[in-house]
């Protein structure tokens, strides 16, 4: 079958594929100068429908080459055991248990996106990144995930100053190419209008007013001193944030034990 015919018919159209420019199949077809397909394409009615009824991952079965990388990543790298090969021959498909959608109640999928990370073609793509930027338009910036103390290494794919998507850094400790659902998909919070950008001090009427850092820190110190003078240091307790890096949590306990003089210090991720 002629490649031009396929492009004209709308099948296998690399121009509209999210993985255009980041596709192993496209690279190899170009490298080997493939101009014709050896086998006929499936009829439209024989192609499994696209699955996109979850907020994170689009599964386009028409683009799947059944390489099995997603199955291996899910079962052996992140060990979620959510997907496997299903059916036989031309009907073959990557399936969850019972061939349900990823977000079905019975599905084992936790939306870590590891399958998307390893898919060499456009069969698995990030839903939130759709249409936001081609690989050659984005800049990759390495950073540390802000969500928990594990400190996973990630690439921020940036276009015009905005994050388009997040992927994991291969061969880097501690995650070695893995991310959880938060690290991979929950980056929109940085653009939230509700995000606090300055400290807020509660007024006597109960309303908050924005305040500069110096004023806020002075107020905290004076209140702490007042409480310690009246009831002693054990009247104060601190809870460190699970999203803080380990070094910040260490400094928090040091502040409470060595400066304030209490062992009332905990961490919200402790179980």
Which of 17, 23, 58, 74 touches ligand SF4 (CB under 6 A)? 74
- CA dist 56 and 116 (Å) reads 10
Cβ nearer to ligand SF4, comparing 51 with 266: 51
Provide the 10 A C-beta neighbour count for residue 160.
10
Task: Tell me 142's DSSP state.
Answer: E
Q: Does 19 bind ligand SF4 (CB under 6 A)?
A: no
Copy the structure tokens of residue 154.
Answer: 């990630």
- Comparing CA positions, the residue from 107, 108, 129, 126 lying closest to residue 117 is 126
Q: Does 111 bind ligand SF4 (CB under 6 A)?
A: yes
> At which residue do the structure tokens 């938060």 appear?
182
Stretch that binds ligand SF4, among 107-115, 134-142, 202-210, 261-269 (CB under 6 A): 107-115
Q: What is the largest CA-CA distance in the chain?
A: 86
Which of 20, 22, 54, 80 touches ligand SF4 (CB under 6 A)? 80
Which of 28, 66, 79, 221 touches ligand SF4 (CB under 6 A)? 66
Cβ nearer to ligand SF4, comparing 151 with 238: 151
Q: Does 78 bind ligand SF4 (CB under 6 A)?
A: yes
CB 122 within 8 A of CB 130: no
Binding mask 193-222 toward ligand SF4 (x if CB under 6 A, else -) reads ------------------------------
Q: Does 172 bind ligand SF4 (CB under 6 A)?
A: no
User: What Cα–Cα distance (Å) separates residue 138 from each residue in 107, 145, 159, 184?
Assistant: 33, 19, 5, 17
Q: Does 177 bind ligand SF4 (CB under 6 A)?
A: no
């Amino acid at each position: 079958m002629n490649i031009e015919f396929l492009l004209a018919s709308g099948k296998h159209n690399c121009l509209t594929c999210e993985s255009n420019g980041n596709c192993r199949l496209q690279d190899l077809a170009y490298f080997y100068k493939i101009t014709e397909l050896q086998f006929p394409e499936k009829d439209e009615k024989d192609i499994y429908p696209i699955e996109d009824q979850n907020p994170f991952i689009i599964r386009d079965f028409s683009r799947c080459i059944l390489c099995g990388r997603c199955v291996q990543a899910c079962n052996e790298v992140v060990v979620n055991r959510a997907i496997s090969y299903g059916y036989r021959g031309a009907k073959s498909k990557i399936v969850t248990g019972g061939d349900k959608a990823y977000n079905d109640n019975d599905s084992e999928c936790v939306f870590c996106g590891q399958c998307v990370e390893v898919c060499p073609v456009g069969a698995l793509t990030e839903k939130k990144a759709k249409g936001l930027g081609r690989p050659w338009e984005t800049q990759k910036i390495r950073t540390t995930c802000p969500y928990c103390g594990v400190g996973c290494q990630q690439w921020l794919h940036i276009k015009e100053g905005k994050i388009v998507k997040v992927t994991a850094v291969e061969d880097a400790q501690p995650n070695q190419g893995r991310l959880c659902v938060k690290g991979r998909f929950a980056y929109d919070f940085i653009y939230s209008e509700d995000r606090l950008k300055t400290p807020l001090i509660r007024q006597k009427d109960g309303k908050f007013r924005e305040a500069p850092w110096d004023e806020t820190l002075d107020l905290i110190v004076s209140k702490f001193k007042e409480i310690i003078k009246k009831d002693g240091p054990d009247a104060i307790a601190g809870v460190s944030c699970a999203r803080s890096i380990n070094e910040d949590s260490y400094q928090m306990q040091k502040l409470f034990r060595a400066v304030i003089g209490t062992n009332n210090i905990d961490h919200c991720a402790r179980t």
